[in-house]
Amino acid sequence: MCGIAGWINLKENLSEKRNLLESMIEALTYRGPDASGRWISDNALIGHRRLIVVDPAGGCQPMERKMGDNRYVITYNGELYNTFDLRQELEGQGYDFKSSSDTEVLLMSYIAWGPKCVEHLNGIYAFGVWDEKERSLFLARDRFGVKPLFYAMRENSLIFASEIKALLKNPLIEPKINAEGLAELFALGPARTPGHGVFKDVFELKPAHSMIFNEGGIHIKKYWSLQSYPHDDGVNITIEKVRQLVSDSIYRQLVADVPLCTFLSGGLDSSAITAIAANTFKKEGKDPLKTFSVDYVDNELYFKSSLFQPNSDLPWIEKMSKEFDTHHHYIKFDTPQLVDALSDAVKARDLPGMADIDSSLWLFCKEVKKETVVALSGECADEIFGGYPWFHNKDMLLLDTFPWSASINERTKILSPEILNLIKPVEYINRRYRETLDEVPRLKGENKLEARRREIFYLNIYWFMSTLLDRKDRMSMASGLEVRVPFCDHRLVQYVWNVPWELKMMDGREKGLLRQALKGILPDYIIDRKKSPYPKTHNPSYEKAVGKWLLEILNDRNSILHKLLNIKEINSMLEGKSDYGKPWFGQLMATPQMFAYLIQVDLWFRENHVWII
């Protein structure tokens, strides 16, 4: 993967401001530690940081191609999984290639099909193509937003980058936040409204959207969306199609010219990826597949089963590694490491995030990168097959709000009266929730309960899944590790979207359809295992450590938290009993993670010199 950045101004000469482009791409060095490049013209500064995965010699960027009297320049972050198919199609149309890189295939796709090129792509991507003759920039982002892309319009300039930190290196973009940005942090965080950059007038190009910037201004278009229609396939055909789609997606994503591994938790999703990858490696005569897992010191002493986390991973990992002869790496972290890495996670994410869930992934990816460059991970299966408790618990299903963030009182009680009045969190949450429901592609004739389930799936795909994908990209790319997510293949998501609930819940099990589809690929003991999420620490020393740190912050009267929070309520929480119970966000974020989130808020304001307007 890579980092991209650019600055376009159609009215002023930018060529003398290349030093600012250098600052922007330098901020993305960890996303692309292997090489850097820039392309300079009067009206366009295009930059790139490269992580080499395919074709080390032929994939340098920004990549330039001339066609007749026109010149096209691409900067691209991502991976195409149908490169071979596209190349064959383009060669059939008379296009020639100088390399084997997917970058060149993507650029030639744009030259051949223009903005409609995105309709041909299967992959994860964020890219920009500058058309020198037309003085036009085209930006696009993959269908589910696996790869990030932010932009801002200042005066006559369009400035874009993979991450906000690169935008902030341009003096035209100031680290300002208003009431709406505060509502994103405290009413929705660590989720974020699709398209929202939190900083004032900083935006994210939404998933499945493209943009053209030219003399006529900015033009944004949604190029793909889920389609709702009756599912006419029978049980056996449905199972077989899911098996084929899952297997094909995983197989396509094993292509790399660098070492590749899988994350293995012993759960259904990561085990499916590992089984297919390990068998492919064996068939191709490669060394055993490397697999990696994460755990925490003394977790076995403190783990308690719950609705959200029913069992621990270790026994299942051991069985899977032995079954498929993988070279497994057990990575374990202690409380001080998790706490210290909260700061690193904020810097990587550009925003307060999922506390130790982020920091542990940051640490994990840092260790994985010592052995490999590409990893495959099991994100997105729960969102598309219905794995979370809120798909199954009727009370959670019918809650008239975001189901992963139902404990609104836990959010509002910690805020100061002034901030409560300013951001009106309950109203803000409801507005964003209603806006999303208005987008749901309905299916005529569905009963009320099925229509609600369709809403929940849509909310999960475009909110909760986006949060997890953002987390995975930032924490992995902070170490220059490329993580691929096979269950996010748009062909699979579209097909499963219309499968009725009773088929998804085959045999009365969560993700029952996926379990059936993986029979013969996975051993029964994995197929029968109850879903368990990404592991978190249960060690009470973590709560003590973040509590102590938060108290130190509150003792500093200059901390922004004194303006934002109800300090009396926070102190009461710090003095109260330990609470690892009902989450206030997702499945894992309880009171210790609330403390850590507030620490990250303080760190974020200080690190970025954020000011409230």
Check: CB of residue 1 under 8 Å from CB of residue 79.
yes
Q: How far apart are CA 481 and CA 466, in angstroms?
A: 19
Report the pLDDT value the prediction gives residue 55, as an integer from 0 to 100. Answer: 66
Report the pLDDT value the prediction gives residue 68, as an integer from 0 to 100. Answer: 87
Residue 128 host element (H or E): strand 123-131
pLDDT beyond 80 at 528: yes
Report the pLDDT value the prediction gives residue 357, as an integer from 0 to 100. Answer: 93
pLDDT beyond 60 at 307: no
Check: CB of residue 253 under 8 Å from CB of residue 376.
yes
Report the pLDDT value the prediction gives residue 577, as an integer from 0 to 100. Answer: 75
CA separation (Å) from 593 to 401, 454, 588? 21, 30, 8
Side-chain-facing half-sphere of 114: CA atoms under 13 Å: 3
Give me the domains of the chain, ranges plus CATH numbers: 2-222 (3.60.20.10), 235-527 (3.40.50.620), 540-612 (no CATH)
pLDDT beyond 60 at 311: no
Annotated catalytic residue 2: yes
Q: How far apart are CA 458 and CA 386, in angstroms?
A: 11
Q: Give 52-86 pLDDT, tens digit per residue.
A: 787 676 678 999 999 988 999 999 999 999 999 99
From the list 572, 564, 568, the residue with the least C-alpha distance to 598 is 564
pLDDT bin (cut points 50, 70, 90) of residue 51 is confident
Helices 356-368 and 465-477, packing angle to 10 deg: 40
For the residues of 245-273, what is the DSSP string, one character each?
HHHHHHHHTT--SS-EEEE--SSHHHHHH
DSSP 95: -
Report the pLDDT value the prediction gives residue 572, as an integer from 0 to 100. Answer: 93
Q: How far apart are CA 121 and CA 143, in angstroms?
A: 10
Q: Which residue has the higher pLDDT, 309 or 109?
A: 109
pLDDT bin (cut points 50, 70, 90) of residue 530 is confident
Catalytic residue among 2, 117, 365, 380: 2
Side-chain-facing half-sphere of 282: CA atoms under 13 Å: 11
Q: What percent of the chain has pLDDT over 90?
A: 88
> What's the chain's average pLDDT?
94
Phi-psi region of 294 (alpha: psi -120 to 50; beta: other; left: phi over 0): beta
Check: CB of residue 530 under 8 Å from CB of residue 264.
no
Report the pLDDT value the prediction gives residue 298, as an integer from 0 to 100. Answer: 74
pLDDT bin (cut points 50, 70, 90) of residue 539 is confident
From the list 459, 389, 492, the residue with the least C-alpha distance to 451 is 459
Q: Give 17-43 pLDDT, tens digit per residue.
A: 999 999 999 999 999 999 999 999 999
CA separation (Å) from 134 to 46, 112, 129, 137, 141? 16, 15, 11, 9, 22
Q: Using DSSP bridges, classify how beta strands 176-177 and 611-612 pair: parallel, antiparallel or unpaired.
A: parallel
Report the pLDDT value the prediction gives residue 304, as an integer from 0 to 100. Answer: 59
Rounding to the nearest 10 degrees, give the CA dihedral for residues 487, 490, 492, 498: 120
From the list 295, 297, 331, 335, the residue with the least C-alpha distance to 312 is 295
Residue 8 host element (H or E): strand 2-9
Q: How far apart are CA 470 and CA 148, in angstroms?
A: 7
pLDDT beyond 80 at 567: yes
Report the pLDDT value the prediction gives residue 534, as an integer from 0 to 100. Answer: 66
From the list 370, 374, 367, the residue with the least C-alpha distance to 256 is 374
Q: How distant is the alpha carbon of residue 163 from its chain centre?
A: 12
pLDDT bin (cut points 50, 70, 90) of residue 537 is confident
Q: Which residue has the higher pLDDT, 587 or 340?
A: 340
pLDDT bin (cut points 50, 70, 90) of residue 580 is low
Find the mean pLDDT for residues 378-397: 95
> In the numeric block, which tokens belong to residue 443?
């299916």
Find the mean pLDDT for residues 547-551: 97
Q: Is the pTM above the cut of 0.85? A: yes
pLDDT beyond 90 at 308: no
- Is the bond preceding 190 in cis, omega lying within 30 degrees of 0? yes
Q: How far apart are CA 423 and CA 229, in angstroms?
A: 39
Q: How far apart are CA 134 and CA 138, in angstroms?
A: 11
Q: How far apart are CA 244 and CA 258, in angstroms?
A: 26
pLDDT bin (cut points 50, 70, 90) of residue 547 is very high
DSSP 10: S
Find the mean pLDDT for residues 282-304: 86
Sequence length of the chain is 613
pLDDT beyond 60 at 497: yes
> In the numeric block, which tokens belong to residue 208?
């499945």
Find the mean pLDDT for residues 523-536: 83
- Strand blocks (E) in 56-107: 63-67, 70-80
SS3 of 33, please? strand
Which residues make beta-bridge pairs with 129? 74, 138
Residue 542 host element (H or E): helix 540-554
Residue with tokens 């899988």: 262
Q: How far apart are CA 599 and CA 609, in angstroms?
A: 15
